[in-house]
């Protein structure tokens, strides 16, 4: 089986409506220990700057995932998700809840059955907060340190200043309507080079950079084993393997996201509220 795929990195400008969806003026940004968010109550956390919302997002008939999204919907009314806790195991009932236990564990349950958890435990005082950056963080209040954060476990999207590391993998969705894990992955290889991989039941193949090229021929350096990359607030992407690019609308005034799309392309999207 021959696999011919092209890696593209265009900038796409998205137009958003002025309406803020599912982020009422009294929605908190913090969840305290022993508290829960419920599907049936349409509970949400909203970042202090109102840009991001976290809560249950309906992905099908009586199917929900706990997710983070841009509060403002697209021009067509759809919401743009940037993170999902349970993309491959949606909950399917109004009795589902997302809880911060008194022992420090984040737990997503469906009719009492555990679906997802953060596997964290501490005797410290904690709170879960959705930050202005879109990062959902479990904070130890005395130490002022993060016990868990969504930025460490991305799905298909990186937000500005979200680190991409040797332990990080972006996985595309199956399709625009099926948000479960798809066939394309972005990751750091053992040679310290950031790569794109296609994998299904029949074939697994690296397709970017072209596998027949040596690292230096692809403009990459394998000598920095720290394996880090990020998209900054101005639209510049930098990686320790020397791969870098700058978006054509370079500047700090826009909201951006970098997403591994369902077709295997990495794209940077910008929010444009002026149109």
Please, which pLDDT band fits residue 26 given cuts at 50, 70 and 90? Answer: low
94 Ramachandran zone, left/alpha/beta (phi>0; psi -120 to 50) = alpha
Q: Report yes or no on 2 lying in a domain.
A: no
d(CA 260, CA 274): 26
Q: Decide if 6 is inside a domain.
A: no
Within-domain flag for 258 = yes
Task: Provide the CA 106 distance to its chain's centre, in angstroms.
Answer: 17
Span 260-268, mean pLDDT?
97
Question: Is 135 part of a structural domain of the chain?
Answer: yes
Q: Report the CATH number at residue 73.
A: 2.90.10.10
231-256 pLDDT tens trace: 999 999 999 999 999 999 998 878 99
Q: Give the residue-averaged pLDDT of 48-56.
A: 97
Residue 223 has a pLDDT of: 96
Integer Cα distance of 10 and 164 in angstroms: 19
Percent of the chain past pLDDT 70, that is, above it, reads 89
Q: Is residue 227 classed exposed, middle or buried when 0-12, 13-18 and 19+ CB atoms within 10 A define those classes?
A: buried
- Give yes or no for residue 2 having a pLDDT over 50: no
Is the pLDDT at 10 greater than 90? The verdict is: no
With beta carbons less than 8 A apart as the criterion, state whether 196 and 207 touch: yes
CB 255 within 8 A of CB 47: no
DSSP structure class, residue 120: -
From edge to edge, which strands make up the β-sheet containing 194-199? Answer: 170-173, 181-188, 194-199, 204-208
Does any domain span residue 89? yes
- State the pLDDT confidence band at 76, using cuts at 50, 70 and 90: confident
pLDDT tens string 180-191: 999 999 999 999
Residue 18 has pLDDT above 70, yes or no: no
CA 8, 225, 164, 87 dihedral sign is positive
Confidence of residue 19 (pLDDT cuts 50, 70, 90): very low
Q: Residue 135 sits in which domain range?
A: 11-272
Domain count, the chain: 1
């Amino acid at each position: 089986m021959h696999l011919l795929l092209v890696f593209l990195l265009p900038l796409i400008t998205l137009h958003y409506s002025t309406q803020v969806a599912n982020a009422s003026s009294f929605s908190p940004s913090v969840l305290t220990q022993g508290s829960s968010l419920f599907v049936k109550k349409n509970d949400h956390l909203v970042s202090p700057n109102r840009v991001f919302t976290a809560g249950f997002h309906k992905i099908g008939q009586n199917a929900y995932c706990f997710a983070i999204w841009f509060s403002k919907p697209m021009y067509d009314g759809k919401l743009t998700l940037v993170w999902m806790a349970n993309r491959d195991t949606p909950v399917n009932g109004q009795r589902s809840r997302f809880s911060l236990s008194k022992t420090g564990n984040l737990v997503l349950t469906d009719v009492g059955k555990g679906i997802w958890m953060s596997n964290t435990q501490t005797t410290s005082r904690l709170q879960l907060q959705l930050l202005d950056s879109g990062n959902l963080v479990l904070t130890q209040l005395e130490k002022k340190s993060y016990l868990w954060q969504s930025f460490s476990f991305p799905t298909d999207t990186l937000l500005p200043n979200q680190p991409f590391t040797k332990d990080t993998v972006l996985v595309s969705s199956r399709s625009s309507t099926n948000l479960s894990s798809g066939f394309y992955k972005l990751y750091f290889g053992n040679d310290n080079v950031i790569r794109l991989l296609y994998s299904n039941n029949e074939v697994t193949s690296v397709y970017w950079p072209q596998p027949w090229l040596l690292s230096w021929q692809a403009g990459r350096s394998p000598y920095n084993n720290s394996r880090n990359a990020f998209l900054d607030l101005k639209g510049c992407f930098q990686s320790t393997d020397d791969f870098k690019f700058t978006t054509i609308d370079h500047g700090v005034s826009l909201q951006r996201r970098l997403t591994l799309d369902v077709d295997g392309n990495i794209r940077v999207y910008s929010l444009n509220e002026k149109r």
